[in-house]
Structure 1
């Protein structure tokens, strides 16, 4: 039987898998390898160097420099697209006739290229990008970045109809699925791939609550400010804030709070320990697009999860979380579960409900989509 091969065009080098988008891509690569699919990975190099580890999961890996410079801000194409428009990528895609999986609208510069007109093309959407950038604009305090996000959001909305050139659109969340289904054909819901092959939850109870995320992202920083300004300043409960690259303002504020501790840039092992030993992950978000991988991470690794409706609405995981919206509701939820034991029965129940979010289940789903093309 001949080998099944696909091209995958990734907007970033997906290893180390240290934020949402790269986590989804990297664990998708691993799952495809386990399912017998050979991937020619095309990826853009700008924050990371070449990663030999990827060769363990790919037939081959091709790296492209990402274009930089102010001139690209004035392109009619979105900045995240035009800076990845590399002619060598088009030449390499033309050199074979395998299906192409484009990761994110970022990587779609050649989705509508005449040279690829008759190819089988799949696009994995990671967000409703113009909504995501509109949310970043609202969260930003810096005038330059606020202006950039506003222009980028408009350009992304104008550019999005390029998706009609795809044979299949794979949405990462039910909300995104509903949005794309109204506008395009052949839309499927495919949840995020992630590091968890099994639940790692400990029965019992913890002594602290946990917020985790990339703290250099303004949306996550806004969530932490909400928790410490409106929730934990009114509680004695301990909060640990863990994540990458916290800003100076956040570091200084947390240093003055007796019941809030910051864990900057924890290792994978440290992060796993924090998740497993917490009483609950506390996860407000103010950005409703995409699927928050931190929610899946929490449900696979931690005991209780307290999240707001924006985090959980229409994902199918609401009944596994304590849902709170206002600061008062977060406080009530924290008080309600602060001394509860998490039981082995609750672990079994969660395992059953997370089957459709496992990589094995969704790898089979992706395989079927590729084969049907």
Structure 2
């Protein structure tokens, strides 16, 4: 496709992502990665800036680095820095710069290198994925006199507080709560500062509008199949759950599914099996699931799409969170029946409710799974309409129109 035919022709976006977005093996990463590819497919050039872990299991592999660099136009990053002095300084300053944003303030030598790369890139806009790179994105928007676009993934302070409440251990509860310090005001400041706000969720957009943020645009996530059909063969499964296995909300939902729902399913359908597909499980969770004879596990797979495509029934038991659950959109891109709790539809148009089976208590959820296993899903025609709505072209039209209406930023005139 010629870039002259697209709404984003000529746009040169510096995208600030919280961490390296590949491998896209959990919802937040997948949302960022798919959007980058969609923007580029519609004519935009992208310079990606991100943080990364320099060691341990979350450290990118050589293949990860190669994949990222192949799929963006330019790339800059710096490693996570830790230390007692840094921790103390970040905590003392948390009311002005919240914890996760403070970890993404680069050292002067890294900032100078990134600034030089941005200058050579000749950007037309800064694109901030969530609040975490807020300090650098605002500084560069002013320095290069270009608009600042803010992409809201969640009402982050409410989302992180929900994670704190869902965490099992006191230490984890305290850690999640510390990340909330100063965050509500910081999010609000960034939205007021931005020249364009793109919200993942209709519900979240209404929340911020009630707090004075006007002119936001709904920008839904992209299902994986909106970008490209998988070249991998579907992996057959019975009842399939997929998700990041580190966040408390996913763990709480999974344990509810395993402990409350599946025993009810097995009473009526003892042959039923649950397949859990997820990233970064703890040793405790691995052992917990390994003890269950009718539960199969696939951890840290390159892509969950073959498992989702091969499912007989897709289950979403998560009931804590905000924003939009990307897994819901990926599920709607398949032909399998879907059973979800009401939280799975949060932030999406009300008409999508008719395309899924919604059940919030264990008895109803189990019964919906049993019925879904026994019959083909009757709502495939409606899903075809959904797939047309959630497309790269649709994203490009929204972004292109909003950016075209922005005036160059000079740091003047922002609240």
TM-score, normalising length from structure 1? 0.89
1:110 is paired with a residue whose SS is: helix
* 8 Å Cα contact 1:19/1:214 also seen in 2: yes
Shift of 1:365: 1.7
Q: Deviation per CA, 1:277-335: give whole Å up to 9, x if none.
A: 32211102122311111111111135011111111135122111100001111012112
Change (3 A) 1:138 1:40: same
State which drifts further: 187-196 or 153-162. 153-162
| Aligned partners of 1:100 and 1:122 also within 8 Å | yes
For 2:308 and 2:73, locate their aligned partners in 1 and report how far apart those are by CA, in whole Å: 34
Structure with more relative contact order (C-alpha pairs < 8 Å, separation 6 or more): 2
1:14–1:273 Cα change, 3 Å: closer
Partners of 2:289 and 2:11 lie apart in 1 by 51
Which residue number corresponds to residue 194 of structure 2?
Answer: 166
| Structure 2 CA distance for aligned equivalents of residues 244 and 296 of structure 1 | 19
Question: Structure 2, unaligned stretches of length 5 or more?
Answer: 54-58, 231-235, 267-271, 407-415
CA distance, structure 2, for counterparts of residue 225 and residue 187 of structure 1: 36
Q: 2:382 aligns with which of 336, 342, 349?
A: 349
Query: Would you say 1:215 and 2:241 are equivalent positions?
Result: no
Residue 286 of structure 2 is matched in structure 1 by 251
Aligned residue for 1:59? 73
Match of 2:263 in 1: 233
Deviates more, 1:84-93 or 1:136-145: 84-93
Give the Cα–Cα distance (whole angstroms) in 2 for the partners of residues 230 and 115 of structure 1: 50
In 1: Cα distance, 2:152 partner to 2:290 partner: 38
Change (3 A) 1:313 1:372: same
Q: Give the Cα–Cα distance (whole angstroms) in 2 for the partners of residues 314 and 58 of structure 1.
A: 29
Question: 2:176 and 2:237 mapped to 1: Cα distance?
Answer: 40
* Counterpart residue number, 1:290: 323
Aligned length: 364
Contact 1:288–1:311, Cα closer than 8 Å, also in 2? no
Offset of residue 258 of structure 1: 3.2
1:38 aligned onto 2:45: yes
| Aligned: 1:151 with 2:151 | no
* Structure 1: runs of 5+ lacking an equivalent: 201-205
CA RMSD of superposed structures (Å)? 2.5
1:338 to 365, 370, 373: 373
- Structure 1 position 115, deviation (Å): 7.2
Q: Say if 1:43 and 1:64, in contact at 8 Å, map to a contact too.
A: yes
Q: Which runs of 4 or more aligned residues in structure 1 lie more than 4 Å from their structure 2 counterparts after TM superposition?
A: 92-97
**TM-score, normalised via structure 2 length:** 0.80
- Partners of 2:361 and 2:52 lie apart in 1 by 41
Q: Distance in 2 between matches of 1:23 and 1:112?
A: 24
Counterparts of 1:115 and 1:107, CA distance in 2: 12
117, 133, 149: which one pairs with 1:122? 149
Q: Quick one: structure 1 residues 22 and 144, their matched pair in 2 at CA, closer, same or farther if it must change by over 3 Å?
A: same
1:129 positional shift: 0.7
C-alpha distance in 2, partners of 1:226/1:235? 13
The residue aligned with 1:309 is: 342
What's the CA shift string for 1:161-220, capped at 9, x where partnerless? 2221101111111111111222212211100134213678xxxxx871111111122211
Equivalent residues in 2 for 1:167-206 (5 A)? 167-183=195-211, 184-197=213-226
